[in-house]
Amino acid sequence: FSTRWCGPCKILGPRLEKMVAKQEGKVLMAKVDIDDHTDLAIEYEVSAVPTVLAMKNGDVVDKFVGIKDEDQLEAFLKKLIGA
């Protein structure tokens, strides 16, 4: 979850995209702009951006709020896919 006016989102977005691409299709990424999809932000109790939710079978299994460096993102994704 992010938005166009969020500075940290502009940093995290490309960094996260790069790390997801390295997972070779094991992880799918969807971006949700909270200004365009307020209903989803409310449904998933997003109170700050950037917020990253990890979902499996429609359930939130992990999440973080704020910027992470590449090592932290890699650890987050590896934990998600069980690598």
- pLDDT digits 0-9 by tens, 8-28: 999 999 999 999 999 999 999
Task: Out of 1, 3, 7, 9, pick the active-site residue.
Answer: 9
- Asked whether 2 and 50 are in contact (CB, 8 A), the reply is yes
Q: Is 35 helix (H, G, I), strand (E, B) or coil?
A: coil
* pLDDT higher than threshold 80 for residue 83: no
Give the pLDDT confidence score for residue 7 in this predicted structure.
96
For residue 39, being part of any structural domain is answered with: yes
Domain tally for the chain? 1
Give the pLDDT confidence score for residue 73 in this predicted structure.
96
Task: Out of 6, 19, 34, 52, pick the active-site residue.
Answer: 6
For residue 48, being part of any structural domain is answered with: yes
Confidence of residue 82 (pLDDT cuts 50, 70, 90): confident
6 is catalytic: yes
Q: What is the CATH number of the domain that holds 63?
A: 3.40.30.10
For residue 1, being part of any structural domain is answered with: no
Per-residue pLDDT reduced to its tens digit, 42-73: 999 999 999 999 999 899 999 999 999 999 99
Element (H, E) at 54: strand 51-56
5 is catalytic: no
